[in-house]
Chain A
Amino acid sequence: MLELVPRREPSRAMQIATPLIALGLTIIAGFVMFTALGKDPVRALGLIFVAPLGSWRGISELTVKATPLILIASGLAIGFRAGVWNIGAEGQFIAGALAGGAVALAVHPSEGAWLLPLMCVAGMLGGMAWGAIPALLRTRFNANEILVSLMLVYVADALLKLMVHGPLRDPQSFGFPESKLFQATAILPRLWQGGRAHIGFLVAIAVAVIAYVLLRRHSFGFAVRVLGEAPRAARFAGFSETRMVWASFLISGGLAGLAGLFEAAGPVGQLVPALPAGYGFSAIIVAFLGRLHPLGIIAAGLLMALTYIGGETAQTVMSLPSATTSVFQGLLLFFLLATDVLVGYRVAWRR
């Protein structure tokens, strides 16, 4: 019988190396997969992992995709480390986009430098409010936060559709379910001319760095780690689980909400039903790929964005199935978790 025996001192070098090993294994598996599909594996992998980095446009798109992933994953990592499982960042993302976008639309067409900060605050509050629901149900009634947060994704999605079909629809949209285009000062400033990269990316990097400092140096971060590793020891040290559930959901919800607002006020520029593109779910992979470490999450977010853009290119250029990107992301998470287990445990034969 196979058995997993915990290692006394997991190797630190291996802990850092696992994401790279997982990436390597994913590439090998991708190689096999493309060969089985009868496609040239070298070309496909080249299109996915190398081609997007060859142009400013590609890099610009990379930051556009990486921004929500890094923002959301940084927040999620805090909760995941504390053992609070917010799986519904996608819903908080939508709630944030709706709340922030609604501010722009409510004051339309007046505008000014005050508008964007106001939208950001509204976006964060929207995401926090959506995250507060599972936090409340968990702390009050011990409801499973995984299920509640996940189910609220679909509620948020329906709410967004309802709003863009109804109260927030542009009267001149000829019946299309979409809001007015946001005012000029409601749009995030671009990082450079000719690309869609916006200052949200810088905010995302700053958030990840702040999260890193909090986790590493602040007693809040210490509480997060103790709660996640040993809940009884956390009670002993006086760290409250209830407070942690709230903090986790408010932080991750707020950041997901901000990411949603950035998406609406950045590359999209209005509210549309197709706004949620699965960032909230992919960010879960990003959080783990980055080892729940905010600096690792920056790298993981960029890598995940790369597979998005490269996968899309490969799909159109080589007519690959549209599931290619998802399969790739799934493989990556699978290999990461598998190698992760092997760092903490060794496999032993019994009998």
Chain B
Amino acid sequence: MTAAGANRTTGTPLLDARGLSRAFPGVKAVDDVSLALQPGEIHALLGENGAGKSTFVKMLYGVLRPDTGTMHVNGSPYAPADPKAARARGVAMVFQHFSLFEGLTVGENIALGLSNATADRALIERIVTVSKTYGLGLDPGRRVGTLSAGERQRIEIARCLLQEPRLLIMDEPTSVLTPQEANQLFETLRRLAAQGRSILYISHKLDEIRALCSAATILRGGKQVATCDPRQETAKSLAEMMIGTTLVPPQRPIVSGRDVRLSVDVVAIPATAAFGVSLSDVRFDVRAGEIVGIAGVAGNGQSELMEALIGERLAPEATSIVLNGAAVGRLGPIERRRHGAAFLPEERLGHGAVPTMSLTETMALASTERGFLDWATFAARARDVIARFDVRTTGADKLARSLSGGNLQKFIVGREIATAPTVFIANQPTWGVDAGAAAMIHKEITTLAAAGTAIVLISQDLDELFALAHRIAVIAGGRLSAPRPVEDVTAESIGLEMAGHKAADLKTAGLGGGRDHA
């Protein structure tokens, strides 16, 4: 199957944006970017975090107004005052983060998202029709809380499609999907394009853009650096256009048979929140110098596992978690740090750092010191981390929330590494950070492992796991599979495990499940 383009014409573009610019205090987020989309075209918008992708599409969707530039839809001027006006002109958007009510059904959620609609019979029928036409496989009566991330995303897509959009903007849609679910999404998108609808596809996953899109606009630092046909490019050349430098892949350190630093044997930890995940049968060991990756789709127990490993949530028995020979299952984070552990949580603001506190105070969050604190020392340590990890900020007294995501993540990674841990547990270390920061964080993790630290790497990014981990386990529905050497697994086998027990359901429903291999 070829990507898009079947119905492509050279007539009036569906969307024609010319010279859009938008400045925020101190930064020109988008600087003179032009983009033309033909009907039936799947167009990629590519760039690092902070390159201006979000700002650009917010202007298309009426969330922000451009400072300069013009837009046309089907040849007539287009200047949406708000998303409602954008939808009225046939422009719809599927956001990266879903805004769904878990306690309500699929139909009720869709009704809530449409103005002036209730989940009546007519709407249910339309949902079923749209779902069938595009192979979304939605059951309007199901409760959202019971659905996977892929299914939830398809709700958002259905919600958009009910409004008959001509242009669908998708913001990093595959970040929460298994490879099979992603393939299923691509199939839906191709069907939409074949009908003459256009898709603006935002992503930084280069392989999927090369598979799906017929054109790509690349942004860097708010400027348009290239427009190309991604099928004619390699992932490496795209990445280099995106980052503006050449990339050096991280080196996987060699692990020799050394001591077990971390041993986890959790039979069960029940869920505490209404839609939380219970952990069961989580068993693995990590040796010195080894990186064990934990793959999985978001919401399958990663947060719960992380809390249990940090000690925010205690294990049933002391021996459930053994750190450097010490049974710490019933001990809190401080004691675990004293036994040589360091932690990198997924949420930077609010978990790994307090948004309203300075970097000096952020430094103290990882400290095991109690009693009177010497803030001058913490300030000096913060400055060390800033210098050593190339954190872009004007000083240790700056608030955590004033840093960009990538810079704050570098700071937190630096803070944890500065404690010289013998066991390092990271959840989504490069989530939402720019490629430059991600490369640096990957390098730090491999360096740490080479120095003999045992590392647990929880990630939804399979590329990251395959690049760094020695062994990979999969968490699905709170259950962890046995870690297998990275040489023995493939993206497909991991993907099937990520879908867990639902793999069979997916197949019977005709929703991927291995059909799109290769």
Nearest residue, chain B, Cβ from A221? B373
* Contact status B332-A238, CB under 8 Å: yes
Q: How far is the CA of A229 from the CA of B400 in the complex (A)?
A: 12
A94: min CB distance to chain B, Å = 35
Q: Which residues of B contact A235 (CB under 8 A)?
A: 312, 333
A8 in the interface (beta carbon within 8 A): yes
Interface centre among B310, B364, B365, B369 (most CB of A within 10 A): B365
* Contact status A219-B353, CB under 8 Å: no
Q: Which residues of A contact B67 (CB under 8 A)?
A: none
Binds A, one of B32-40, B210-218, B344-352: B344-352
Q: How far is the CA of A217 from the CA of B356 in the complex (A)?
A: 18
Q: Which of B334, B355, B399 contacts A238 (CB 8 A)?
A: B334
Interface string of B325-349 (1 = CB under 8 A from A): 0000000111101000001010100
Interface string of A230-254 (1 = CB under 8 A from B): 1011011110100000000000000
Q: How far is the CA of A226 from the CA of B364 in the complex (A)?
A: 10
B517 in the interface (beta carbon within 8 A): no
Q: Which residues of B contact A238 (CB under 8 A)?
A: 311, 332-335, 337
Q: Which residues of B contact A237 (CB under 8 A)?
A: 333-334, 364-367
A349: min CB distance to chain B, Å = 12
* Contact status A217-B351, CB under 8 Å: no
* Contact status A232-B365, CB under 8 Å: no
B426: min CB distance to chain A, Å = 13
* Contact status A225-B357, CB under 8 Å: yes
B151 in the interface (beta carbon within 8 A): no
A57 in the interface (beta carbon within 8 A): no
Q: Which residues of A contact B311 (CB under 8 A)?
A: 238
- How many Cβ-Cβ contacts under 8 Å join chain A to chain B? 68
* Contact status A236-B352, CB under 8 Å: yes
Nearest residue, chain A, Cβ from B331? A238
Nearest residue, chain A, Cβ from B403? A8
B271 in the interface (beta carbon within 8 A): no
A218 in the interface (beta carbon within 8 A): yes
* Contact status A222-B343, CB under 8 Å: no
Q: Which residues of A contact B373 (CB under 8 A)?
A: 217-219, 222
Interface centre among A222, A229, A236 (most CB of B within 10 A): A236
* Contact status A236-B81, CB under 8 Å: no
Q: How far is the CA of A238 from the CA of B365 in the complex (A)?
A: 9
B375 in the interface (beta carbon within 8 A): yes
A219-B369, A226-B357 given; A232·B333 CB < 8 A: no
Q: Which of A9, A236, A240, A351 contacts B345 (CB 8 A)?
A: A236
* Contact status A233-B350, CB under 8 Å: yes
Q: How far is the CA of A219 from the CA of B368 in the complex (A)?
A: 10
A222: min CB distance to chain B, Å = 6
* Contact status B82-A217, CB under 8 Å: no
Q: How far is the CA of A233 from the CA of B81 in the complex (A)?
A: 38
Q: How far is the CA of A225 from the CA of B366 in the complex (A)?
A: 15
B96 in the interface (beta carbon within 8 A): no
A162: min CB distance to chain B, Å = 43
Q: Which residues of A contact B351 (CB under 8 A)?
A: 230, 232-233, 236
A235: min CB distance to chain B, Å = 4
A128: min CB distance to chain B, Å = 23
Interface string of B173-187 (1 = CB under 8 A from A): 000000000000000
B371 in the interface (beta carbon within 8 A): yes
B121 in the interface (beta carbon within 8 A): no
Q: Which residues of A contact B333 (CB under 8 A)?
A: 235-238
Interface residues of B in 75-108 (CB under 8 A from A): 81-82
Q: How far is the CA of A240 from the CA of B312 in the complex (A)?
A: 9
Q: Which residues of B contact A219 (CB under 8 A)?
A: 369-373
B143 in the interface (beta carbon within 8 A): no
A229-B356, A232-B351, A238-B311 given; A218·B371 CB < 8 A: yes
A219: min CB distance to chain B, Å = 5
A217-B375, A219-B370, A237-B333 given; A229·B365 CB < 8 A: no
Q: Which of A8, A218, A226, A240 contacts B354 (CB 8 A)?
A: A226
Q: How far is the CA of A100 from the CA of B345 in the complex (A)?
A: 49
* Contact status A232-B375, CB under 8 Å: no
Q: Which residues of A contact B371 (CB under 8 A)?
A: 218-219
Nearest first, the 5 closest Cβ-Cβ pairs linking A and B are A238-B334, A238-B333, A235-B312, A230-B354, A237-B365
The 21 listed contacts between A and B (C-beta, < 8 Å) are: A8-B399, A8-B401, A217-B372, A217-B375, A218-B372, A219-B369, A222-B364, A222-B373, A225-B354, A226-B357, A226-B365, A230-B351, A230-B354, A232-B347, A232-B350, A236-B310, A236-B345, A236-B365, A237-B333, A237-B364, A238-B334
Q: Using A217-B375, A222-B361, A229-B356 as known contacts, list a sample of 17 further A-B pairs with CB atoms less than 8 Å apart, ordered by residue number in A.
A: A8-B401, A9-B402, A218-B371, A219-B371, A225-B357, A225-B361, A230-B351, A230-B354, A232-B351, A236-B333, A236-B343, A236-B345, A237-B365, A238-B311, A238-B332, A238-B334, A238-B337
